[in-house]
């Protein structure tokens, strides 16, 4: 039996993690879940929203499935997600986006992957107050992190049969920081002559993504652009309810959906567990549970294709539990 850390956050996290654990159990894959809670409630009891035990558990098990954690806006504790990525050095955030048959969107032929640098940029959290009317935020871009993420993007392209890597920046304005990022992607590109290398400014990318998303393949970019662009690309395939992600480091991998804790639908049995389920499928492949992963994937795709039992974000009226039971029934 494999040990996997399950990081439980707040908002819709309990509902979607219950659903996914139930589906994995029903598939016959045996996982020993090391459940670790994180977030505001944990901070009240333990004094830290991300206690050491969570990090230690991921380091021990090497693999984690993570549900969203609410981050206070404009005040309060530093994002648990940002800290986790930093403390475990999960330097690559991978967000694949592919049309799923049965989910209606105005966009066809979408099959791209956002590779987001995950440890620096303005997410380094270095901000200072100059005076009441002036705040500073420091954007950090280093050669080490840029070379590492560029190499990851090209390796990913090679291993996954991808043809093109696009480097995304705003190097016309951020000449030093994004300029260094591009210098690094160009350097790495030279080692991969079999992969086509292209560059695009992030604003032009956003426009072209909604005009002709099918032309894009692997997109590598600094942290902030990656955060924003990957929500946009999630929208191209039907929204946050089906957008999966993975945070990869040298020692461990944490699989987590793109979406947040959705406090507006918390506890209403309305949440779509699909994004977390897609993360779980990738996580199972990562730990070599290919048969179980395929079984769950087929059941999921067939429920979506039939289009009868869908959650409301996908235009249906099914509850989280009804949708979960439908996927389980397809595996029998």
| Contacts to ligand NAI by CB under 6 A | 9, 12, 68-71, 81, 240-241, 256, 259-265, 271-272, 275, 313
* Most distant CA atoms of the chain, gap in Å: 64
Up-side HSE of residue 62: CA atoms within 13 Å toward CB?
7
**Do 35 and 14 touch, CB atoms closer than 8 A?**
no
Q: How far is CA 286 from CA 63, 91, 215, 226, 239, in A?
A: 8, 17, 28, 23, 24
Report residue 235: phi and psi, to 5°: -65, -30
To the nearest whole angstrom, how small is the minimum distance from the Cβ of residue 301 to ligand NAI? 18
Q: How far is the C-alpha of 93 from the C-alpha of 114, rounded, in Å?
A: 8
Report residue 117: phi and psi, to 5°: -65, 135
Q: How far is the C-alpha of 281 from the C-alpha of 241, rounded, in Å?
A: 15
To the nearest whole angstrom, how small is the minimum distance from the Cβ of residue 80 to ligand NAI? 7
To the nearest whole angstrom, how small is the minimum distance from the Cβ of residue 92 to ligand NAI? 15
Cβ proximity to ligand NAI, 77 vs 192, nearer residue: 77
CB atoms within 10 A of CB 139: 17
Q: How far is the C-alpha of 169 from the C-alpha of 205, rounded, in Å?
A: 9
Cβ proximity to ligand NAI, 151 vs 256, nearer residue: 256
Q: How far is the C-alpha of 315 from the C-alpha of 322, rounded, in Å?
A: 15
To the nearest whole angstrom, how small is the minimum distance from the Cβ of residue 303 to ligand NAI? 15
Terminal alpha carbon distance of the chain: 22
To the nearest whole angstrom, how small is the minimum distance from the Cβ of residue 264 to ligand NAI? 5
Report residue 196: phi and psi, to 5°: -70, 140
**Do 152 and 248 touch, CB atoms closer than 8 A?**
yes
Q: How far is the C-alpha of 243 from the C-alpha of 100, rounded, in Å?
A: 11
The CB-nearest residue to ligand NAI is 260
To the nearest whole angstrom, how small is the minimum distance from the Cβ of residue 70 to ligand NAI? 4
Cβ proximity to ligand NAI, 61 vs 311, nearer residue: 311
To the nearest whole angstrom, how small is the minimum distance from the Cβ of residue 328 to ligand NAI? 18
Cβ proximity to ligand NAI, 62 vs 266, nearer residue: 266
Q: How far is the C-alpha of 262 from the C-alpha of 181, rounded, in Å?
A: 33
Cβ proximity to ligand NAI, 63 vs 70, nearer residue: 70
To the nearest whole angstrom, how small is the minimum distance from the Cβ of residue 173 to ligand NAI? 26
Could you tell me which of 307, 267, 322, 228 has the C-alpha nearest to residue 19? 322
CA dihedral of residues 202, 204, 207, 208 (deg, nearest 10): -100
Cβ proximity to ligand NAI, 195 vs 283, nearer residue: 283
Cβ proximity to ligand NAI, 69 vs 195, nearer residue: 69
Cβ proximity to ligand NAI, 84 vs 287, nearer residue: 84
To the nearest whole angstrom, how small is the minimum distance from the Cβ of residue 183 to ligand NAI? 30
Cβ proximity to ligand NAI, 8 vs 148, nearer residue: 8
């Amino acid at each position: 039996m494999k040990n996997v850390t399950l990081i439980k956050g707040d908002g819709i996290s309990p509902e979607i993690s219950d659903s996914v654990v139930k589906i994995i159990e029903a598939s016959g894959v045996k996982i020993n879940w090391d459940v670790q809670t994180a977030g505001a409630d944990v901070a009240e009891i333990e004094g830290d929203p991300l206690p050491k035990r969570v990090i230690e558990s991921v380091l021990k098990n090497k693999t984690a499935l993570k549900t969203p954690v609410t981050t206070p806006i404009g005040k309060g504790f530093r994002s648990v997600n940002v800290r986790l990525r930093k403390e475990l050095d999960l330097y690559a955030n991978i967000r694949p986006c592919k049309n799923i048959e049965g989910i209606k969107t105005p966009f066809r032929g979408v099959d791209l992957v956002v590779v987001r640098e995950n440890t620096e940029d303005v997410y380094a959290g270095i901000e200072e107050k100059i005076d009441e009317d002036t705040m500073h935020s420091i954007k950090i871009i280093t050669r080490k992190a840029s070379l590492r993420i560029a190499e990851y993007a090209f390796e990913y392209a090679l291993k996954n049969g991808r043809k093109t890597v696009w480097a995304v920046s705003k190097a016309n304005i951020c000449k030093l920081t994004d300029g260094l990022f591009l210098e690094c992607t160009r350097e790495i590109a030279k080692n991969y002559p079999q992969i086509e290398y292209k560059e695009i400014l992030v604003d032009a990318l956003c426009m072209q993504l909604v005009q002709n998303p099918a032309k894009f393949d692997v997109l590598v970019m600094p942290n902030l652009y990656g955060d924003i662009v990957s929500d946009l690309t999630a929208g191209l395939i039907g929204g946050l309810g089906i957008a999966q992600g993975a945070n990869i480091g040298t020692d461990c991998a944490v699989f987590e959906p793109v979406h947040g804790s959705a406090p507006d639908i918390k506890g209403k049995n309305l949440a779509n567990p699909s994004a977390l389920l897609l993360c779980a499928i990738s996580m199972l492949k990562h730990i070599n549970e290919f048969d179980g992963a395929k079984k769950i994937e087929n059941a999921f795709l067939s429920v979506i294709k039939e289009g009868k039992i869908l959650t409301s974000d996908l235009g249906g009226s099914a509850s989280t539990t009804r949708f979960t039971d439908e996927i389980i029934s397809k595996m029998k």
